[in-house]
Amino acid sequence: MAITKPGKVQNLSILIIISGVLNILGGGLLALLIIIGTIGIGLLCAPILVLPMVLGVAEIIYGINMMADPPRIEEPSLAIAILEICSILFGNIFGLVVGVINLVFINDQELKAYFESLK
């Protein structure tokens, strides 16, 4: 028997989706500025510049799956939280904050009990 969905799950999923959108927009803008600023030579850095956009897409998919009722994830992802924290390397301060909040919520007993009840 599943317990009611805590508001923390909804809040966390919204924060993760917003962080994903900011990663996509910020990563695209950063890539565009570097490529234009170096008159195309920065295109060699494209694989590195694409990383925030890939993380953004993963965050959006993860956030949408968490927002579903019932969530289509087994438990909150530690990998997404760590990658959000690492997004500070690309200047995404919001991603750092969301990553820390995500880590705190992963260890929250209410959320642990909720995800355990879904199994």
Q: What is the pLDDT of residues 51-101, one digit of tens each?
A: 899 999 999 999 999 988 888 888 888 999 999 999 898 888 999 999 999
Residue-wise pLDDT tens digits, 34-48: 888 888 787 887 788
Residue 1 located in a structural domain? no
Residue 22 located in a structural domain? yes
Angle (deg, nearest 10), helices 93-106 and 7-37: 150
Count: domains in the chain: 1
Phi, psi of 112 (to 5 degrees): -60, -45
Cis status of the peptide bond prior to 70, with omega within 30 of 0: yes
Q: What is the pTM of this model?
A: 0.87
CA distances from 32 to 39, 40, 43, 85 (A): 11, 10, 9, 23
Residue 27 located in a structural domain? yes
Residue 10 located in a structural domain? no
| DSSP category for residue 9 | H
Residue 108 located in a structural domain? yes
Residue 101 sits in which domain range? 15-118
